[in-house]
Structure 1
Amino acid sequence: MKIQLYLFLFFISFKSFSQIENSKKSQDSIKKEELNEIVITASRRSESWMRSPISIEQLKSAEAKIMGSPSIYEALENVKGVQIITPSLGFKVINTRGFANSTNVRFAQLVDGIDNQAPHLGAPIANALGANDLDIDKIEIIPGTAAALYGMNAINGLANIQTKNPFEYQGISIQQLTGVNHIGNVDRFSPKVYSQFNLRLAKAFSEKLAFKVNASTTGGKDWVADDRTDLAPNANASTNLFGIDNPAYDEVNGYGNESANRKTLNLNGKNYVVARTGYRETDISDYDIKNYKADFGLYFRPKKDHELSLTYKTALINTIYQRSNRFSLNDYTLNQFAVDYHTPIYQVKAYATTENTGNSYNLRSLAENMDRAYKSDDKWFADYSTAYKNAVTNGATVAEAHKIARTQSDQGRFEPGTEAYENKKNELIDINNWDIGAALRVKSTLVHAEGLLNWDKAFIPFFEKINAKLLSGFDYRNYIIVPDGNYFINPKNDGGNLTYQKTGGFTQLTKDLFESKLRLGATLRIDKADYFDAKLTPQFTAVYSPKQSLNFRASYQNGYRFPSIFEGFSNVNSGGVKRVGGLRIMSDGIFENSYTKTSIDKFQSQVNNDVNTLGLTQAAAIVKNQNTLQKNPYTYLKPEFVNSFEIGVRGIALNNALYIDADFYYNAYKNFIAQVEASIPNTTDPNLIPTSLYSRTTQSRYRLWTNSKSKIFNYGGSLGLKYRIDETFTALTNLTYTKLDRTDDKDGLEDGFNTPEFNVNGTLLVNNIWRNLGASATARYQNNFDYVSFLVSGTVPAYWSMDAQINYAFKKGISAKLGGTNILNKPYTSILGGPSIGGLYYLSLVWETNKI
């Protein structure tokens, strides 16, 4: 299948080379389109895309609209080097160049240069606070570290969504997209309606005053996460209990039966690991998606090339969100206020983003505490032991006795769909303590200010004389968290707000040499964050252009990522395990006095094995295996760091009909921020420590944010081809290769690479094939890859899918698009623990007028 798909995509891209003669009009079109295209994200100033000093991808609105994806944001999956993972139909995450996860704190996402992250996460809630399709002009993506210019922890990449200015794009636009998913028994739902509504209204009252309003709604039934793979398949291997007979059975998308909910029971002389029953996600989540967002902006142009904008954005989110656990986001709100004043010489910008998690809750904590609400752990395990022994006495086999014991112990539990269950659920999701409830209650604010100064615009004669440009910038950021007593506390001032500040600045110099065929650039950035020393971030670039249509580029840069506020300051009680931020102010003393969970798990398994197979007493087995226990070797948080080397080429060939963009990079990382689980024994007597660590009830368990000791290297490259066959046909092909090279001093703590080694997509675009009729088809493939997270680790299977659409432009500004994603309806998963994604089929109608 893999070879067939490669040949198919190769055929799409190159078949026409020998069959169709390019028209002169098409040649001129692609040359003008690519050579004159302007980008701003790569260097924070307007420049030719072809001569960008680093890799930068872009997706223009006009091109995305004629792809099979229902939205421009989702069409980014077709862009070279971009990986999109889908924790939810209403939540998609962008990543580039490896180390992806569902909360991608290493990739920044901006709208018109304004960060749209959720403050306490340090990452965006997908496109929840972003622009709607009708207002997006284009999206620019830097696939690689952008820390030197932006300082936003963007060590893996950055996306900048650029919207339409109301002075240039006036009128009313309305879009209604209606679709259907869950077709063909791909999960427990019958077909469900999916709906998106977008509105844009923009008006310039004069040359000096304009406004715009945008609004969006999205509703539907989410994809279902129902992976029943056992995460503890060998917990009872020494007693030959596997699969459905395993009393420690822990489904990927079953919650309340994780390690924190298990206990070792000695039953009739054998040790068995037994888990509480828990609940499946499909039983405790309704999967409804109801997302809303809107924005309003006023724009003033007091004089030529000067513009002041005042904008307000708001979003209300109801969807599934995935991190270390799966969450139901209910009435989750984000609000953002921004002011921006820019001229050719300088720009100043300030914004504030507020976050309120509303009535959101943790699905795992809900399941755990729903079990405990009808019967405590101690009572349940005691009942289980009694019922097991009685069953064996009455002649049941070991496997049968465990099933009988579970059935009897579960009597009285709350059953999903009953009134008693709903009442208890509503009670638990309002309790802000994950040891006894499930509520996610966070209120936070991000305040940001920045400025840019174009020295070469302020002192034109001097910089024209030396043929150089100089840009300087500064930024200030402060995170403000309202302590809730569960998720966050203020370690300095009990009752006061928690703050976390960062300040930075940069200077960038570029100079043209050899009749402007060679452009050299150097950037130096310095950042200082609370609790950390100042860090320097350099960037050096070179672009050589022997002719306008051929450009070679090379760059070296490094980048730092300071811990997010959650990584630094979290204070979460969850099922008897306390998740603690890695700053010394939060976890002082824990690192030095704890033992790693991996060694404790191994120790407990060896003890159980010796009891069950060698007939040792538990005390003797503990003494025999106590040297397995290892002290925690990790310590307090430091910033992550990456060195990045990159080369690339952009050019136009074949009589200006073929656009080529290729890049290769090599990255070296250290101090990866990750989590380690460790426990402190509830004793100071060295002789009693092993016994204390054997039992879950005699140790204090922690999950700590720290740095991996590994040095990590990865490399890769990508190739993008765009071939304009004629005025009607255009073929696009993107191939991306991403490889984890090696890990020195491997400790297994670093974040998973979580990225397919190889993916490819090919698209055939057809414009005006008959009158105003157009169409497109996209095929996409990615190979299987290892996925590592605290929720689940394993292998994400390879998959390939197809998107397609046909569109027609009617008169009077009306256009229609009939399309689908994964049109063959072959379910796949993009991440473990996430949903199974089937086909989505839709009809989109858009009405636009430039009058208002």
Structure 2
Amino acid sequence: MKLKLPFILILISTRILAQAPSEDSKKQQDTIKREILQEVVVTASRTQETILRSPISIEQLKAADAKNMGSQSNFDALENLKGVQIITPSLGFKVINTRGFANTTNVRFAQLIDGIDNQAPHLGTPIANALGANDLDIDKIEVIPGAASALYGMNAINGLANIQTKNPFEYQGMSIQQLTGVNHTGNMDRFSPQLFSTTNLRYAQAINSKIAFKINGSVTNGTDWIADNRTDLAPTLNSSTNLYGADNPAYDEVNGYGNESANRKTLTLNGKKYVVSRTGYRETDIADYGIENYKWDGGLYFRPKKGHELAVTYKGALINTVYQRSNRFRLDDYKLSQYAIDYHTDIFMIRGYLTQENTGKSYNMRSLAENMDRAFKSDDKWFADYTTAYNNAVTNGSTVADAHKIARTASDAGRFIPGTDAYEQKKEELVNINNWDYGAALRVKSSLVHSEGLLNWDKAFAEFFKKMGTQLLSGFDYRTYIIVPDGNYFINPENNGKNLKYGKTGGFTQLSKDLFDKKLRLSAAIRADKADYFDVKFTPRVTAVYSPKETINFRASYQSGYRFPSIFEGFSNVNSGGVKRVGGLRIMSDGIFENSFTKVSIDKFQAQVTSDINTLGLTQAQAIDKNKGIIQKNPYTYLEPEFVRSFEFGFRGVALKKSLFIDADFYYNRYENFIAQVEASIANTTDPAQIPTALYSKATQSRYRLWTNSKSKIYNYGSSLGLKYRFNEMFSALGNVTYSKLDRTDDKDGLEDGFNTPEYVANGTVVAENVWKNLGASVTYRQQSKYDYVSFLVSGKVPAYWSMDAQINYNFEKPGIVAKVGGTNFLNKSYYSILGGPQIGAFYYLSLTWNIGKI
């Protein structure tokens, strides 16, 4: 598919440049000046500055702008920002990323609400916007594409989003919003059209000039998109016997679970070796696609004197949706709570918060499928029955392909059938067993305790720093993760029965100075972080902004960043289908790295042995001895933090009498020590001569999936261009093009994290405001190129796609109601955002927002 939009945008911008606005357009100039020249951001440098003079790339989405887009929510509208990628594992779970290496648990991208991290502690990443603000309370969202670790220290080596909410002193009154939508239209899957509903509430009141409060609530119900990709992930496992496609007895479809490598066995049938998998279940047969999410928050705000504010807030969420990691999960009664206190002035800020997580009745759909099979018949019994049925079928004259089908049908007799009472009873039992070798439960209770502070030295000692012509900002943060060991997902390797703790502390100082009559601003920051089990790491940042005119700004920066392993990467202890997933800290995996052999080499060894038996007529012992040199020792070792170095250059400016806003950037990154997973096995023998024989059979080896670091050095680069042009008070156009490229990989070892990012993404929006009375409308076109997607669930190419969003809104001033009718992907050209995830179709909606009082 050819990508045409970048060239369309360039053509549009060329035409715009050729026609300057008339002299009587002062109103539009004033509007642009208000929107661009005076627009203030705080996230990029943790201090107020105009967006034009920000030293690094920063994107901003105001609630008023999101209202004029076809997206169903402000969070979804982020996809229209320059350089922002959103992947969709579920309608109720969307993931933000920038600048490559996206995945469904994007631990390299931080997400804040009013500066407070809203991650789920044991994951180290947010559950989309589940604990975030609802649309009525969002003021604006600021996104930093690229490393932000130097100032935030939150593992934000790919970027950071800060959702800023409305202060109850400034935004008072009550707002109610009802969005009713429909998806699954056009016979795209087994569902008929399904209703979707989100109800939002906000109430804020200032009791007097010193005390105010606000409360927010949100309820979402609907039916999720369906994941039903039937591509075979093991198409060549029986190639030596010419069994492919539907005849392949190792058939493993993408969204079928219980037929993966852990559920296969090599059987000797009628003198030949065949790889056979258990049957498993399709996700569409066993998944609960209902979405039922609730979130609420409230806060008390005190202003004891001018310039001082104390906020005490609480947020809560109850989540029921589908979640994707290396497996697909059903989140049921998943709870998040957050308590925070924040005191800030112009001089200092101090903040502390506690986030608590309880996974409720959640479960792993893959583990449910494979243990549902095992619950009716053990692996040993099933494969024995398969062998008997196959041999009988061949004896009775069946072909090889037919004999395999007959054997499967016979072996599956009596298995649990989705939708039956017996299946539901067994499912209820399995989803409450907290061991993935036998059940499917996800049972984790965890907490995150965080405190931080900032000091503006130039405000505290204004006279001194004014003479010096500098600004100085310092900050600190302290964080501890607390995990309640569940005996399966997490254990405490040192103090059995006590909570597992993992902490980090850090601090930074940033010095800025204006030179040459404030035309050049230089800034330098240095950060130090110390995490448990690791040495101190230093993170520098150097930036420069040159502004020959107020409307012309060039920027350059160098920054580095560290990402420390998450709780799951460091301490996991998961039993899963006979494979033990183990955290990469020495305290968890001591001795495993040194004594194991890589799964990649074992798989090659097993396949070659099987092929030689089938094609050369060798005995098993002869084939093992012939191919034992294929087996390779595990070359990896214990976890270290990831590290990135990033260079960036950019330009921001206003042209055509301040009617056209231009923002462009280019970056180059180098990553080291990517945290990744390697699969390896230890032979269940101490005799070196017997190791190859032991590794030929799964029954005589202990299998592990270990968190470690890739040995590769990975380089990527990219650029983006964003344009915004206001024709007059009614019409404006904005568009952007983002280019992302994986440059090269040195010392390639196969553990590189997937870049998982389209090479080209383009967005273009035309907005009409008040075209007739209070009527407005917009149309958005989005297009992205195909890209390689790599994950433990599935790897392959995500096809290119294009889609269109549109909306019409009308403001009924007298009752204070804003009506918005719209659709995302309204042409219903279904597409995949990621592999292993759902097929996404059209979503049509009507939104009514009622503002009561001063909002």
Give the deviation of 1:768 after TM superposition.
0.6
Q: Tell me the SS of whatever aligns to 1:198.
A: strand
Match of 1:386 among 376, 388, 410: 388
Match of residue 404 from structure 1: 406
Does the 8 A contact of 1:267 with 1:385 survive in 2?
yes
- Aligned match of 2:840 in 834, 837, 840? 837
Separation (CA, whole Å) in 1 of partners of 2:2 and 2:79: 19
TM-score, with normalisation over the residues of structure 1? 0.99
Distance 1:5 1:468 in 2: 44
Within-5 A mapping of 1:492-641: 492-641=494-643
Deviation at 1:655, TM superposition (A): 1.5
User: What whole-Å deviation, never above 9, does each CA across 1:688-741 have from its counterpart, x for those lacking one?
Assistant: 000000001000000000000000000001100001111111101110001000
Q: Indicate conservation of the 8 Å contact 1:106/1:153, yes or no.
A: yes
**Which residue is equivalent to 2:2?**
2
CA distance in 1, matches of 2:692, 2:386: 26
- Tell me the SS of whatever aligns to 2:629: helix
Tell me the equivalent position of 2:342: 340
Relative to structure 1, the CA distance from residue 3 to residue 570 in structure 2 (aligned partners, 3 Å threshold; closer, same or farther) is closer
How big is the shift at 1:31?
A: 2.1
Q: Which residue of structure 2 lines up, in the alignment, with residue 279 of structure 1?
A: 281
Q: Structure 2 counterpart of 1:322, which letter?
A: Q
**5+ residue gaps in structure 2?**
none
C-alpha displacement at 1:29, in angstroms?
1.4
Structure 1 counterpart of 2:827, from 824, 827, 832: 824
**What secondary structure, in the 3-state scheme, does the structure 1 residue paired with 2:294 have?**
strand
Q: Shift of the alpha carbon at 1:521?
A: 0.3
| 1:286 Cα deviation from its structure 2 partner | 2.1
1:100-499 pair list within 5 angstroms = 100-499=102-501
**Residues 133-171 of structure 1, C-alpha deviations (whole Å, 9 max, x = no match):** 000000000000000000000000000000000000001
**Aligned 8 A contact 1:711 1:745 in 2:** yes
Aligned counterpart for 1:815 among listed residues 814, 818, 836: 818
Structure 1: segments with no counterpart, 5+ residues:
none
**In 1: Cα distance, 2:290 partner to 2:670 partner:** 42
Percent sequence identity over aligned pairs: 75
1:18 positional shift: 5.3
> What amino acid sits opposite 2:550 in the alignment?
Q
CA deviation string 1:423-481 (max 9, x = no partner): 00000000000000000000000000000000000000111111110000000000000
Residues 535-566 of structure 1: CA deviation (Å, up to 9, x unaligned): 00000000000011111100001000000010
Question: In the alignment, which residue of structure 2 is the partner of 1:45?
Answer: 47
1:655 is aligned to 2:637 = no
The 2-side partners of 1:414 and 1:499 are apart by 41
The answer as to whether partners of 1:13 and 1:732 remain within 8 angstroms in 2 is no
Q: Distance in 2 between matches of 1:516 and 1:8?
A: 38
Alpha-carbon RMSD: 1.0
Taking the aligned partners of 2:713 and 2:15, their CA distance within structure 1 comes to: 44
Q: 1:730 to 1:473 in 2, by over 3 A?
A: same
Q: Secondary structure at the match of 1:123?
A: coil
Separation in 1 of the partners of 2:17 and 2:653? 17
Question: 1:2 Cα shift?
Answer: 2.7
Q: 8 Å contact 1:606–1:625 — kept in the other structure?
A: yes
Stretch deviating more after TM superposition (9-18 or 560-569): 9-18
1-side partners of 2:590 and 2:854: how far apart? 63
Q: CA deviation at 1:402?
A: 0.2
The one-character-per-residue Cα deviations of 1:78-110 (angstroms, maximum 9, x if unpaired) are 000000000000000000000000000000000
Aligned to 1:54: 56
Q: Secondary structure at the match of 1:50?
A: helix
| AA in 2 matched with 1:216 | S
Task: Please give the alpha-carbon distance, in whole angstroms, between the structure 2 residues aligned to 1:6 and 1:530.
Answer: 47
Give the CA deviation at 1:6: 4.2
| TM-score relative to the length of structure 2 | 0.99
1:32 positional shift: 2.5
> 1: distance between equivalents of 2:189 and 2:803?
18
- Stretch moving more, 304-313 or 805-814: 805-814
CA distance in 2, matches of 1:715, 1:141: 19
Comparing 283-292 with 20-29, which one deviates more in the overlay?
A: 20-29
Contact persistence 2:20–2:656 (CA under 8 A):
no
Aligned to 1:712: 714
Q: Aligned letter for 1:217?
A: V
Counterparts of 1:630 and 1:601, CA distance in 2: 11
Paired with 1:244 and 1:732, the residues of 2 have a C-alpha distance of 49
Q: What CA distance in whole angstroms lies between the structure 2 residues aligned with 1:13 and 1:97?
A: 25
Query: Which residue does the alignment assign to 1:726?
Result: 728
Distance (Å, rounded) in 2 between the aligned partners of 1:673 and 1:187:
37
Query: What is the aligned partner in structure 1 of residue 745 from structure 2?
Result: 743
Amino acid at match of 2:219: T
State the alpha-carbon separation in 1 of the partners of residues 20 and 224 from structure 2: 44
The 10-residue stretch of structure 1 (810-819 or 361-370) with the greater mean CA deviation from structure 2 = 810-819
Change (3 A) 1:475 1:4: closer
SS in 2 for 1:74: helix
Distance 1:825 1:166 in 2: 40
CA distance in 2, matches of 1:164, 1:64: 15
Structure 1 contact 20–725 (Cα < 8 Å) conserved:
no
Q: Is the 8 A contact 1:569 1:580 kept in 2?
A: yes
Return the offset for 1:27. Answer: 1.7
Counterparts of 1:757-768 in structure 2 under 5 Å? Answer: 757-768=759-770
Give the drift of 1:310.
Answer: 0.2
* Alignment coverage as a number of residue pairs: 852
User: Retained in 2: the 8 A contact 1:13–1:731?
Assistant: no
**Equivalent residues of 1:756, 1:783 under 8 A apart:** yes
Instruction: Deviation per CA, 1:188-230: give whole Å up to 9, x if none.
Output: 1000001111000000010000000000011100000000000
Is 1:88 aligned to 2:90, yes or no? Answer: yes
- Aligned residue for 2:587, secondary structure, equals helix
State the 1:285 CA deviation.
0.6
Question: C-alpha deviations, 1:234-289, integer Å up to 9, x for none?
Answer: 00000000000000000100000000000000001100000000000000012000
Alpha-carbon distance in structure 1 between the residues aligned to 2:3 and 2:196 = 35
Deviation at 1:644, TM superposition (A): 0.4
Q: CA deviation at 1:510?
A: 0.2
2-side partners of 1:204 and 1:297: how far apart?
Answer: 12
- How far apart are 1:618 and its partner, in Å? 1.0
Give the residue type in structure 1 aligned to 2:672: K
Residue from 757, 761, 778 that aligns with 1:755: 757
- Counterpart Cα distance in 2 of 1:517 and 1:849: 46
SS at match of 2:52: coil
In structure 2, what residue type is equivalent to 1:396? S
State the alpha-carbon separation in 1 of the partners of residues 15 and 182 from structure 2: 35
Q: Which moved more, 1:650-659 or 1:575-584?
A: 650-659
